[in-house]
Amino acid sequence: MTFLDRFALWLGRMTAWCFAAIIAVMVYEVTARYGFNAPTTWAHEVSVLLASCGFVFGGAFCMAEGTHMRITFLVEARPALGRFSEALSLVAGAIYLSGLCYAAWRMAEKALWRFSLSGTWDPERSGSTLNSPLPSYLKALLFVGCALFLLLVLRRMIPRRGG
């Protein structure tokens, strides 16, 4: 197992806790809204951020762990067909993730590198009551997650020594 695999596994385990945090945020929101008639302006956006973190790094986690969905009966019935299927899926994944990385980079670049007429940094904002810059951060996070996933796919395409 390489450093990249260990990093993706660690990151996946850490971001899995985001889903527990979403539960805490939603319990707080429901209690504040219905128990005290004091709804929050931030709970929805924070929940979206936390869920995004978990989902963005989930693909890389599954690739590092080797738990991506497969059609296992092909591999078990015909090992040669299974190897071909694995190679084909890695090539298709690399092509798809390369395009996704490029698109995510372009979106993140447009969302993050924005400046007002006065020259101050003005990243893309949500437009909600909170009007946070979370959408720009999520676009950058998508790029990082796609890049990590792509690196793991490319690493799997390289034959291992001695095997």
Q: What is the pTM of this model?
A: 0.83
Residue 72 has pLDDT above 90, yes or no: no
Q: Which of 8-17, 79-88, 119-128 has the highest mean pLDDT?
A: 8-17
Grade residue 95 by pLDDT with cuts at 50, 70 and 90: very high
Token output for 140: 């950058």
Interval 115-137 mean pLDDT:
87
Provide CB contacts within 8 A for 65, sequence distance 6+.
9, 12
Please tell me the predicted confidence (pLDDT) of residue 132: 87
Average pLDDT of the chain, as a whole number: 88
In order, the DSSP letters of 150-163 are: HHHHHHHHSPPTT-
Q: Tens of pLDDT along 4-54?
A: 999 999 999 999 999 999 999 999 999 999 999 999 989 998 999 899 988
d(CA 64, CA 66): 6
